[in-house]
Amino acid sequence: MGAKLRNISAMLIFGTIGIFVKNIELASSEIALLRGIIGGIVLISVSILVKNKISFKDVKSNLLLLLLSGGAIGLNWIFLFQAYRYTTISNATLSYYFAPVFVTLLSPVILKEKLTLKKMLCVACAMLGMICIVGNSSGVTEGRNDFLGIAYGLSAAAFYASVILMNKFLKNLKSLETTYIQLILAATVLMPYVFIVEGFNVLNISASSIPYILILGIVHTGFAYLLYFSSLKELKGQTIAVMSYIDPISAVIISAIFLRERMGVLQIAGGILILGSTLISELTKSKEK
């Protein structure tokens, strides 16, 4: 399978996460814990099969960052899954794709990158897009709370942005190694929280939820991450940036087809502003590199 096809396949798989999460009868933290465990096991198994040797010396030197980023991944999943529960997949996904905006705003402080006029305009457009989405949301209705769901989506985006920034400081680790270590650490960090707050309900998962959690862990995490990271070395930065938007676009289309979720004109305009502005910002970064 070519690099482009692997990347596109991964993006399309990521775009269906919301539908599966909505069918799992567990708390968001429990879903995140199981996803981390199953996905981590899949990637470790692949690593063993391809005889990918891990340097424990490099892991030790990056341990603090790996722990922090692993915890951030776990929290990122919890907030994203909460967003799916309280609002539409479209609102949750578009809120989640605010992560590049947070990265752009924090990069001058953390990475000492210059905040150009073009990037500032992209941030302003993304913020305007978010205002359009929030302004056209239903608010609190039966079984839904769009404002809370969007807030969860933005919180997930903030934690995902922190993972992106922390990964910039990791040294001498391959992307596959980094990923499965972070997944296992995410599960390790989440485990005490889940058992203290939620109890052992995770062990009483309903039969109807088991296929969905297995697919989420094996396909959406292990397999999709493997496809995605194996494609990165063979693709240009601009190509990766453009293809990353297959995920939110497919998520919106799939939710409209299978869940009958509809977007108003303002929400569509907001989505275009968010995705368009972040795409331009990503392409700008790729050109600079």
Cα–Cα distance, 99 to 164 (Å, whole number): 9
The rounded percent of the chain whose pLDDT value lies above 90 is 51
127-157 tens-digit pLDDT: 999 888 887 666 666 668 889 999 999 999 9
Residue 197 has φ and ψ, to the nearest 5°, of -85, -45
β-pair type (144-145, 140-141): antiparallel
What confidence tens digit (pLDDT) does each residue in 158-185 have? 999 999 999 989 998 888 888 889 999 9
CB count in 10 Å sphere of residue 61: 15
Which residue shows structure tokens 């934690």? 159
- E-strand ranges in the chain read 140-141, 144-145
At 80-117, the pLDDT tens digits run 999 999 999 999 999 999 998 899 889 888 988 888 88
